[in-house]
A = this chain, B = another copy of it.
Amino acid sequence: MTATGARRRGRPGYDVDSLLAVAVAVFNERGYDGTSMEDLSQRLGIAKSAIYHHVAGKEELLRLSLDRALDGLFGVADRVRATDAPAVDRLELLVRGSVEVLQRELPHVTLLLRVRGNTEVERAALERRRSFDRFVAGLVRQAERDGDISPALSPTVTAHLLFGLVNSLVEWYRPGSRTTGASLADAVAALAFDGLRARGEPPARR
């Protein structure tokens, strides 16, 4: 779709989408603070003026990228909010949906998770992340009240662990990684909600 988008303009070069894809890769390699417009210009193989044709500067590229990640996550949260199911099931939907967003928007989610709040755009993204985290903690709290998850931990710690697990995927997941059968969303949900330890009948001896 990126290549098609580039061609749609009827001339060689980039559109915002394909430009963003390259910029985010450079941000993830060098860090956003460590990337200059000159670096982007070199990697893209076009003049800085050609970049400014599409965006106001590197902070706009950062904003577009962080919004891709956050809009994906909030899209899942909105679907979950509209669901009429016990909180524990909504929490599982949220986890599964977040894994899918992470797979689909991997470079953007990776960048989001590295944001430290040095610019206005980053601080706005962190505020949206905190709002998402509060939504998660609220579902955990409700699921504990329902007696559907163990109340041994504070909802905040449980929420941290759950999304720590989800977010850790950016460290090793690469498109095409084999997960042997089950989807990655299934794998994460199975670990988080049912645990690794097999239950029930003792296994047949092999």
Mark A residues whose CB is within 8 Å of B. 31, 34, 88, 91, 113, 143, 145-150, 152-154, 157-158, 160-162, 164-165, 167-169, 171-172, 177-182, 186-188, 190-199, 202-204, 206
In the assembled complex, how far is the CB of residue A169 from the closest CB belonging to chain B, in whole angstroms? 7
Given A164-B171, A165-B164, A165-B168, A197-B31 contact (CB < 8 Å): no
* Complex interface: chain B residues within 8 A of A146 (CB): 203
Number of copies: 2
- Which of B154, B167, B169, B198 meets A178, CB within 8 Å? B154
In the assembled complex, how far is the CB of residue A16 from the closest CB belonging to chain B, in whole angstroms? 29
Q: Judging by beta carbons under 8 Å apart, are B154 and A203 in contact?
A: no
* Complex interface: chain B residues within 8 A of A168 (CB): 160-161, 164-165, 167-168
Give 11 A-B contacts (CB < 8 Å), ordered by A residue: A34-B34, A88-B196, A147-B202, A147-B206, A149-B197, A149-B198, A161-B187, A162-B191, A165-B168, A191-B192, A199-B199
* Complex interface: chain B residues within 8 A of A195 (CB): 190-195
* Complex interface: chain B residues within 8 A of A164 (CB): 164-165, 168-169, 171-172
* Complex interface: chain B residues within 8 A of A196 (CB): 88, 91, 143, 149-150, 158, 162, 192-193
In the assembled complex, how far is the CB of residue A193 from the closest CB belonging to chain B, in whole angstroms? 5
C-alpha gap A187/B195 in the complex (Å): 12
Given A145-B206, A165-B161, A187-B161, A154-B172 contact (CB < 8 Å): no
3 closest Cβ contacts across the A-B interface? Answer: A147-B203, A164-B168, A195-B195
C-alpha gap A172/B161 in the complex (Å): 9
Q: Judging by beta carbons under 8 Å apart, are B187 and A153 in contact?
A: yes
Q: Judging by beta carbons under 8 Å apart, are B193 and A194 in contact?
A: no
In the assembled complex, how far is the CB of residue A144 from the closest CB belonging to chain B, in whole angstroms? 9
Given A158-B196, A164-B168, A152-B203 contact (CB < 8 Å): no
C-alpha gap A91/B192 in the complex (Å): 16
Smallest CB gap from A146: residue in B: B203
